[in-house]
Amino acid sequence: MHWYVDVLKKYAVFNGRARRAEYWMFTLISLIISLALFGIDMVLGISPVLEALYSVAVLLPGIAVSVRRLHDTDRQGWWLLLALIPLIGLIILIVMLAKDSTPPNQYGPNPKEVAAAPAW
């Protein structure tokens, strides 16, 4: 759950890097919350108001963590626009987002190495 909260704390931070766990856990928890809110909307018999409000609220953090994840694989955030290409663009983007971290690059040190370093 801390991955989700950490992404929300960095609401509109587009610089730096994000580990795979941070990106995918945020995506998973966000999807679960969205589905739960959609279910509540259906039970209440209203159009998906709660789910839509939640989606708008997490849109910017979702884009920001995606850009940071692309930075972690040594790619610019503009690669996120691949999602606009039907089907094949989304598949390519998912593969890019699933790749492992690269060594220190222009976007900063490898977050895995920073997390693994002992805190003296």
59-72 helix and 20-44 helix, angle to the nearest 10 degrees:
160
Q: Name 105's bridge partners.
A: 108
Residue 120 has a pLDDT of 58
Containing structural domain, residue 19: 2-101
> Does some domain include residue 119?
no
28-57: pLDDT as tens digits: 999 999 999 999 999 998 888 999 999 999
> Does some domain include residue 112?
no
> Does some domain include residue 113?
no
Domain count, the chain: 1
Assessment of whether the complete model's pTM goes beyond 0.85: yes
Q: Using CA atoms, how far apart are residues 89 and 94, in angstroms rounded to an integer?
A: 9
Residue 104 has a pLDDT of 86
